[in-house]
Amino acid sequence: MGEEVKEEINSFKDLGLCDELVEACDGLGWKAPTKIQVEAIPHAVEGKDLIGLAQTGSGKTGAFALPILHALLECHSKQGYKSAPAFFALVLSPTRELAIQIAEQFEALGSGISLKCAVLVGGVDLMQQQIAIGKRPHIIVGTPGRLVDHLTNTKGFSLRMLKYLVLDEADRLLNEDFEKALDDILNVIPRDRHTYLFSATMTKKVKKLQRACLRNPVKIEAASKYSTVDTLKQQYRFIPAKYKDCYLVYILTEMSGCTSMVFTRTCDATRLLSFILRNLNIRAIPISGQMTQDYIHRVGRTARAGRSGVAISLVNQYELEWYLQIEKLIGKKLPEYPAQEEEVLLLLESVTEAKRLSQMKLKEIGGTKKRKGGEEDNEDIGRYLGIKGKSSKKFKKK
Ligand code: AMP
62 CA to middle of ligand 1, Å? Answer: 7
Q: Please tell me if the CB atom of residue 105 comes closer than 6 angstroms to any atom of ligand 1.
A: yes
Specify the CATH number for 2-221; select among 1.10.340.30, 2.40.50.100, 3.40.50.720, 3.40.50.300: 3.40.50.300
Which residue(s) pair with 198 in the sheet?
52
232 CA to middle of ligand 1, Å? Answer: 14
Residue 370 pLDDT greater than 70, yes or no: no
Cα–Cα distance measured from residue 298 to residue 10, given in angstroms and rounded to the nearest whole number:
29
Q: Is the dihedral of CA 363, 367, 368, 374 positive or negative?
A: positive
What is the spatial order of strands in the sheet that 50-53 belongs to? 117-120, 139-142, 89-92, 164-167, 194-199, 50-53, 218-221
pLDDT value of residue 306: 57
Domain residue ranges of the chain, discontinuous segments joined by +: 2-221, 232-384
The CATH architecture one would assign to domain 232-384 is: 3-Layer(aba) Sandwich (3.40)
Cα–Cα distance measured from residue 204 to residue 198, given in angstroms and rounded to the nearest whole number:
14
- pTM, entire model: 0.64
Asked if the domains 2-221 and 232-384 are classified in one and the same CATH topology, the answer is yes
Q: Please tell me if the CB atom of residue 60 comes closer than 6 angstroms to any atom of ligand 1.
A: yes
60 CA to middle of ligand 1, Å? Answer: 7
30-60 confidence digits (pLDDT tens): 988 988 899 999 999 999 999 998 877 788 9
pLDDT value of residue 113: 87
Please, what's the b/e burial string for 100-122 (b: 16 or more CB within 10 A of its CB; e: otherwise)? bbbbbbbbbbbeebebbbbbbbb
pLDDT value of residue 10: 78
Could you tell which of 9, 30, 68, 111 is best to mutate to test the pocket of ligand 1, judged by most ligand atoms within 8 Å of the CB?
30
152-199 confidence digits (pLDDT tens): 999 999 999 999 999 999 988 998 888 899 999 999 999 999 999 999
pLDDT tier for residue 248 given thresholds of 50, 70 and 90: very high
Q: Please tell me if the CB atom of residue 94 comes closer than 6 angstroms to any atom of ligand 1.
A: no
- Determine the average pLDDT of the residues in 116-127: 94
The mean predicted confidence, pLDDT, of the chain is 83
